[in-house]
Amino acid sequence: DADVTQTPRNRITKTGKRIMLECSQTKGHDRMYWYRQDPGLGLRLIYYSFDVKDINKGEISDGYSVSRQAQAKFSLSLESAIPNQTALYFCATSRTSGTGELFFGEGSRLTVL
């Protein structure tokens, strides 16, 4: 079983719909992240959380919100999806100490029509 699990893996939705992407981890890490990947743009950080009570905006947080329900769970919401939010979304975790190495889930592909 994957250490970092993302659901759903694929989702097609319509403009204006609310979407939630969920992430759970069994690695026992305190830190969790949401990135989006777009062709030619690499990975860009949306939100990150260093513990259950800590939420931080990343480079591209507009149009997104997050919830850290527990140490192991970090969900990303699109309140009103728009087509330019079509992308591949990755959840990642890391230890509090150490070099900051990230451990990634397998990604959630979202298409907004």
Judged by the rule CB under 8 A, the positions of this chain that interact with another protein are 4, 33, 35, 40-45, 48, 50, 56, 58, 90, 92, 99-102, 104-107
The total of other beta-carbon atoms located within 10 Å of residue 15's CB is 11
Residue 20 or 102 having the CB closest to another protein:
102
| Rounded CA separation 38/5 (Å) | 20
Residue 35 in contact with residue 53, Cβ under 8 Å?
no
Residue 58 or 63 having the CB closest to another protein:
58
Shortest distance, position 90 Cβ to another protein, whole Å: 6
Residue 4 or 19 having the CB closest to another protein:
4
Query: Which secondary-structure segment (H or E) carries 29?
Result: none
